[in-house]
Chain A
């Protein structure tokens, strides 16, 4: 099922809509306040974009430096070309160390490969420790709906019922009691697990470290108590220096949840000292390609700068209305509609590049300045070029292209067109139903054109001896003549 059908169903899911309404009031204003703590927020964004782009521009070199430094500290650095290879490596590591129980802090890359299912199929136990991921795991592995708040679509009532059923404990309704119950259940697992699996927010080239960022501290426990740690992340997550991490960490938590800093930031390098009581004895990195090198070689390569803060989805009018499940794969929202088609194939995600209003809220808030609407448009172009769009869209665009290259004919056609559209307007100048355009007018009204095309008005205004009128109005400010015409709606034909 494509995005369009799923999105339609989500719009009519009352329970989800209530969760989404609750969601909207929190992250967006919190981020707005948090970024004011930085004197030079825009300068920090520029620096962050530069850091990420520098890593991508010489990714082979930075990966090699990371690899050398990680090995020098006693870690094993492994590479996975495909999702299947991630799972095979993890299972082999587990086997090598006689592992029976695995605890896991959040890893979106492991969602790409369905790692938990592979672990269970191999007869081992795996426990997700991020509270949101844990809730989803015990609900028969419900997919996450947000990259940093995977269970934000669930209400406390749903979690109450789930805990009662799965834990066999008396029903608890208060959120703090639910969290306390989960703490108790998960604590036992932390203390008895043989291996910890984490994602990786950053791989640091200069030190061969992985950086993990959480508020719960679950990644810290996951990588401190068991004897084996496997950190899984994409090839694109490498950054050169610890100074670069410091800069990125001024933006990641602020962009994500509006916090100045996340409660736990762990920089993990190699294995434990001889005298240490806790700490891992075996450290493995799994560095994942799985489609990323193809993105690097494409014209949407800037998407690889992403630091997975979730700001683009928090601010997206489409995400805000349909939630994360409508997108159908691991990464929802504006970054997802670029990454998913690249990772699963454009043919398998035809609707996704269209799940955008092109409003550029995502581009404005992205801490590493990924030009998301540009990348979405590039994927739309690819679909058209590869004849993946429906026949009426292809014919329509081709007809428009043919017409647009013939200015005189275009002028006549649009003059007729806007006048016809004008007659469809009601008393208030709004079009409520559009023949062949019900997809637009079913959900909203469209202002009717005023009756003259842009070129007609341009000509008229030039003639009306206002030599500067055009220059000013093109820059988006109303010219004197526009101001005189008041609020009358006009259309660009």
Chain B
């Protein structure tokens, strides 16, 4: 079978690459150089960002067609979300980390489970958020199921100000600092799902959310 026999293809491909590079003999030297490069974590030129990363994040998120609102404390998030939804009997699914908030007091119900294809509203936190591009960063896991920000038509993300980092580089650094290895999926999401495939006309909600609403929590 092709899969079990694939070692032969692997060796043939690598041999052809070595031949093309004119590499004969051991690769200890380039391998050491490669590991030195990995350890150096060299960055490319970075665009200058304003000092107020929160403001920059909100502005770029809006540029990417997300809507945003600010609240002072996390306990105000349910009411802010109720105002955004503007629907008396809304029902949402949410991540466990925000399940304890007083959703019923804000006038709607939440189920604490990953979204299915039938859920209209998904409420999540995030791993961090990127000021440079207005991007939400999600790290997959038991308590952070991606389906909740992918399947519902409306996705609402609660972002704490201290979760906002400058660029992708800082998001990756945070991953490395907080865990040994990358989770199965790191999803960087900037605004609603969109397509321009018919006559280059932009339409939101191609497959995933049609609306992305960000609730920024000022303090912890």
Contact = CB atoms under 8 A, between A and B. Distances in A.
B168 A249 contact: yes
B89 to A, nearest CB: 24
A83 B205 CA distance: 34
Interface string A426-462: 0000000000000000000000000000000000000
Interface string A29-42: 00000000111100
A250 B3 contact: no
A132 interface: yes
Nearest to A158: B198
Interface string A356-394: 000000000000000000000000000000000000000
A470 interface: no
B13 A235 contact: yes
Nearest to A41: B45
B193 A60 contact: no
A273 B142 contact: yes
A191 B207 contact: no
B146 A224 contact: yes
A263 B193 contact: yes
A134 B22 CA distance: 42
A23 B151 CA distance: 31
Most A CB within 10 A of own CB, among B135, B147, B186, B207: B207
B38 A205 contact: yes
A189 B3 CA distance: 27
Contacts of B208: 216-217, 220-221, 264
Contacts of B20: 293-294, 296-297, 301
Nearest to A129: B207
Given A76-B3, A250-B44, A215 B195 contact: yes
What interface size band does chain A fall in? 35 or more
B177 interface: no
A260 B34 contact: no
Contact of B147 (A132, A223, A224, A271): A224
Contacts of B42: 241, 243
Interface string A301-327: 100000000000000000000000000
A40 to B, nearest CB: 4
Given A220-B150, A247-B43, A89 B187 contact: no
A221 B196 contact: no
Nearest to A50: B44
A44 interface: yes
Nearest to A249: B168
Contacts of A280: 184
B182 A267 contact: yes
B145 interface: yes
Interface stretch (B25-33, B69-77, B97-105): B25-33
Contact of A60 (B12, B14, B38, B169): B14
Nearest to A88: B2
Name the interface size band of chain B.
Answer: 35 or more
In this complex, the member of B44, B147, B172 whose beta carbon has the largest number of chain A beta carbons within 10 angstroms is B44
A263 B6 contact: no
Nearest to A89: B2
Given A39-B48, A240-B34, A293 B9 contact: no
Contacts of A151: 197-198
B16 A272 contact: no
A187 B117 contact: yes
B184 A271 contact: yes
B187 to A, nearest CB: 5
B31 A61 contact: yes
A212 to B, nearest CB: 10
A261 B12 contact: no
Contacts of B141: 273, 275-276
Contacts of B12: 79, 81
B189 A60 contact: no
B198 A179 contact: yes
B6 A246 contact: no
B184 A269 contact: yes
A279 interface: yes
Interface in A276-292: 276-280, 287, 289
Contacts of B27: 60-61
B199 A22 contact: yes
Given A65-B34, A273-B183, A297-B19, A260 B193 contact: no
Contact of B206 (A60, A218, A223, A244): A218
Interface of B: 1-3, 6, 9-10, 12-14, 16-21, 23, 27, 30-31, 33-34, 37-38, 41-45, 47-48, 60, 63-64, 113-114, 117, 133-135, 140-142, 145-147, 150-151, 167-169, 172, 181-201, 203, 205-208
8 contacts: A60-B14, A207-B182, A215-B194, A242-B172, A264-B189, A267-B188, A268-B185, A273-B184
Given A85-B2, A216-B195, A224-B185, 10 more contacts: A60-B17, A151-B198, A156-B198, A217-B189, A242-B168, A249-B168, A263-B64, A264-B187, A266-B187, A277-B145
